[in-house]
Structures are given as C-alpha cells and as structure tokens.
Amino acid sequence: MVTEPELSPFNPESRAVPITQGRLMDFSDNPFTCMRRLYRTHGNIAALEEQGQRLVFIFGPQYNQQVLSDARTFHSRFFAIRGPRNSSQRRLTCGLLSMNGEEHKRHRRLVMGPFQRKSIEGYRDHLVELAEQMLADWQPGQVRNIFRDMTHYMLRVTSSILFGFDLPELAYEIGHMIERWVAMNHELGMGAFISDPGITSAYSKLLELAEALEAKILAMINLRRSLNSQGNDVLSLLIQARDENGAGMTDAELIGQASVLFGAAHLTTANSLTWNLFLLAQHPGIASDLVDELTENLHGEAPTLEQMEQLPLLERAIKESMRVLPASAYSQRINVEPVAIGPFQLPRGTPIIFSQIITHPMPDLFPEPERFLPDRWLGMTTSPYAYMPFAAGPRMCLGASLAMTTLKVTLPLIVQRFRLTVVPGATINGQVRSTMLAPTNGMPMIVSEPTAPFVASRVEGNIHEMVELREADGATAGQERAA
C-alpha cells in the first residue's frame, strides 16, 4: 500500500505501461469487444484512459483474488445512481449490491435465509409447476424464440418465489420496468462517470421510472402483508427476518432488497437457460448423451433435490455452459483507499472492472477455451477466481444455489420433452447489456418431438467470436445425431 503523495499514474519501474488512450464510451458501447482488445493488447491488467479519467480492468485469477477477496478495500459500486434523499430512486438502490462494510454484512445475513438449502427445497415444486405450464404451450413444428420463453418463465418464477404470487401480468410488468430501470441506471452511471452532457435530461426520466417501479413493488409488499400468512416465499421470510439484536427490515430496506433480488434473479437465469439450450442444440453428441442420462434416471420428469446431485453430465454441461457464455459478463469495484495493483498505484476511487467473459476463455486456465467441452470438468478442480460465473469472495452471488436449482429442474424437463434445433441460418448475437451477456437477436429454435434427431445448425452472428461451434468428436454444424 502507498501513501497519497507518492501516487503516480503508473509505476515508473514497469517497462510496459498497460494503458490505452481512447474513448471511455467504447467500453459502455461494447464491453466485450473493448475488454477483449485491452486484454489482447496488455494482458491481465490494463487501463482505458480519456482526458485523465481512467477505468482499470483486471483479468485472470491473481488479480481477481486480490480484488474480490478484499471487500474492505474494494467496495461494490453497482452502476446505480443514488438519487435525492427520500426519493424512490434512493430507496430502490438500497439493496445489497450497493451496500458495503458492516451494513452489507448485516443485510447479507438477513437476506441469506431464504436462499439456503432448506428454503430452496420448498421452491423446487413451484419451479416444476411453472416449467410444466410453459411446456404445455409448446407444440412440435413451432419455431419459438426460446430467449423470450425463458425470460417470461423466469419472470413468473421470480415473482412466485420472491413474492409468493403467480400473477403473470404483474410479474411481466415489474420485470420489464426493472429491466428498463437497470439499463437506465447503468447508462447514467457510466455517463456520470465520463461526464456525458446528455445525462441530465435522462436523470429526471430515471427518477420518474423509479417512482412508478417503487409503487408496484410496494403494492406487492402490502399485498403479501395483507394476506397475513406465513408463506415460504422470499418476501415473507424477509418480512420475518431479524438480526441478532432482534431488528427487522424497514419498508424502505425491503423495497431496496426486493428490487435487487428481482433484478438479479430473472435475467441472469433466463440468459443462462437460453445459452445452455443453445450450446446443447449445437452439440448433438453431448445433447444426446445428456438426454440418455436424464431419461434413464428421471423417465421424463424433473429431478428431486437428491436426484439433482446424481446427474453428472447435467452438472458438467451447466458448468461448462456458464464458463463459455457466462450470464454475468463483468462487474465493478472501487478502491476506498490508495492501493497498488500490478503496475498501477491507484488513487482512491478508481473504478476497477473484473470480467468473467475475459477470464473464462484464458487458454492457460482452460485448454481449447472457446470449445464447449463439458468433459473437461471430469476430475478437474480450478481456483474460484478462475471460474466464477457467480463471482467469488464475500460478495459472491447470494442466489447461486437457487439459480443452479432452477437450471437443474428446468433443463431436464425441456430436453426430455422436446428436441430443440436452432433455426438454420439464424443470426445469434451475444451482447453485454447492463453487465449481462444476452442473446440480443433472440434465440429462434424449432421445436420437435423428442424422437427427432439431434441436429446442429449453421448460424451467423458474433456468437462465433465467443464459442467455437464444433462437436467434441469432430462433427461440424449441419450434422445429425440419431435420437
């Protein structure tokens, strides 16, 4: 650690100064391309600098560990605008992602209960019911936008698990509002940092949207309270939660946590489900082996919690899918005191970006990194700072077990009931939006009977920059595998 007067923009001892002078907007416009260029130019640590303002990027396990394991020095500063005191915007941004220090620890303990195994057991049946309802609408011969299906499904799941209601219309409405709100926060957060003159007009729109969103969330909370029942949904558990001094959450705190949970849960999981289904469809051999494993053990049904632990190929396929196409592509920290990291000596308050989408395909960590090879995980252990779809350290995703349970219930039901084939020639684009890797052109797939062959399709789009679409056994797109 260095003291303030000795700070210099970079360590003069370092021969190569890993700084690219450029537009900071390049990062917000296309995070993946910008980060990959920085990584290829400079290696595991780099900065993008414009007129003295700097974003620092860290890639790889060593720097990830330094930053993510030290929550005291590196604070979370989610890309949210706090808004005026006593405003809806301020209350909505009072969730875990924006908290640090003791406040974060206390709230993490309060929020943790509903995400532990005992509570998750209770959510499994909701998941099965909602997945069955979704699949009841699917018919062989249809072309479906699977991303849209997964998003709608996850909105219902989130609303049912978080609030204890399955009110699809309200869930869709809140979900869409949260998506817009998260995106606006993100753009404005970045705009404020780079002093974009266009942001002031967007600020008042953000405050308006926050008011409308808060009113909806508050209506959910009040409805839950009025039912006066001891539900096992997350909101009921949060209403009942008490810390060691017996203190519970205020309404404002509940609003903050509920909005973060809703925002953090639905899109990340919908993206993961979609990327999983895409990668399986494009790898017929792996998909065929997976369906064999599932039908042998589950006979067309969803796994129980015990069965989930005994489906090794399902486990590896999900793990590998989250490595190749991680739903959470990057996130940010800010150092609250001057700190040395690699060749940089950073003044307090420097934004530091860490990234799964750059760390996961490092060839020294994962040979043939751009291939989807679930079997690479056979007997392989790796540092939690090298493979980190849910991040790592004291702020690791609180919903990781719930997300994994959702994937392990939903994917088996889908792939046992239907054969999914990507529409030949479709453009599949992955773009990082509000820190998440989403299929921005949707995911058009043909739904067939489960007896149909497994076929990989030729597709267009920037997906080829992220994953090498070729079968583990050498088969290429366009080839079939009998069911």
Closest approach, Cβ 392 to ligand HEM, in A, equals 9
Q: The tokens of 309 are what?
A: 């632990």
Q: What is the largest CA-CA distance in the chain?
A: 71
Residue 161, phi then psi, degrees to nearest 5:
-75, -40
Interacting residues with ligand HEM (CB under 6 A): 76, 96-97, 108, 260-261, 264-265, 268-269, 272, 327-328, 331, 389-391, 395, 397-399, 402-403
With respect to ligand HEM, which residue has the nearer C-beta, 358 or 456?
358
Q: For the chain, how far is it from start to end, CA to CA, in angstroms?
A: 60
Question: Within 10 A of 358 (CB to CB), how many other CB atoms are there?
Answer: 23
Angle at 270 between CA 452 and CA 180, to 5 degrees: 140
With respect to ligand HEM, which residue has the nearer C-beta, 264 or 466?
264
Q: How many helices (H) and strands (E) does the chain have?
A: 16, 15
With respect to ligand HEM, which residue has the nearer C-beta, 263 or 284?
263
Q: How far apart are CA 295 and CA 396, in angstroms?
A: 33
CA-nearest of 259, 276, 258 to 437 is: 276
With respect to ligand HEM, which residue has the nearer C-beta, 273 or 455?
273
Say if residues 279 and 198 touch (Cβ distance below 8 Å): no
Closest approach, Cβ 264 to ligand HEM, in A, equals 4
Three-state SS string over 125-159 comes to: HHHHHHHHHHHHCCCCCCEEEHHHHHHHHHHHHHH
Q: Which residue is nearest to ligand HEM (CB)?
A: 399
Say if residues 233 and 224 touch (Cβ distance below 8 Å): yes
Closest approach, Cβ 332 to ligand HEM, in A, equals 7
Closest approach, Cβ 438 to ligand HEM, in A, equals 12
Residue 120, phi then psi, degrees to nearest 5:
-65, -30
Q: How far apart are CA 241 and CA 109, in angstroms?
A: 9
Strand, coil or helix: 472: coil
The letter for the amino acid at 15 is R
**Who's near 339: CB < 8 A, 6+ residues apart?**
1, 2, 73, 74, 345, 346
Angle at 165 between CA 91 and CA 269, to 5 degrees: 70
Closest approach, Cβ 453 to ligand HEM, in A, equals 30
With respect to ligand HEM, which residue has the nearer C-beta, 48 or 357?
357
Q: The tokens of 175 are what?
A: 């979900």
Closest approach, Cβ 68 to ligand HEM, in A, equals 7
With respect to ligand HEM, which residue has the nearer C-beta, 76 or 297?
76
**Who's near 9: CB < 8 A, 6+ residues apart?**
19, 54, 344
Closest approach, Cβ 208 to ligand HEM, in A, equals 26
Q: The tokens of 180 are what?
A: 């817009």
With respect to ligand HEM, which residue has the nearer C-beta, 343 or 430?
430
With respect to ligand HEM, which residue has the nearer C-beta, 388 or 426?
388
Closest approach, Cβ 363 to ligand HEM, in A, equals 22
With respect to ligand HEM, which residue has the nearer C-beta, 269 or 282?
269
The letter for the amino acid at 324 is V
For residue 60, give the DSSP letter: S
With respect to ligand HEM, which residue has the nearer C-beta, 19 or 58?
58
**DSSP string for 234-280:** HHHHHHH---TTS----HHHHHHHHHHHHHHHHHHHHHHHHHHHHHH
With respect to ligand HEM, which residue has the nearer C-beta, 404 or 455?
404
Closest approach, Cβ 435 to ligand HEM, in A, equals 8
Q: How far apart are CA 61 and CA 365, in angstroms?
A: 9
Rg (CA), the chain: 23
With respect to ligand HEM, which residue has the nearer C-beta, 130 or 426?
130
Closest approach, Cβ 158 to ligand HEM, in A, equals 7
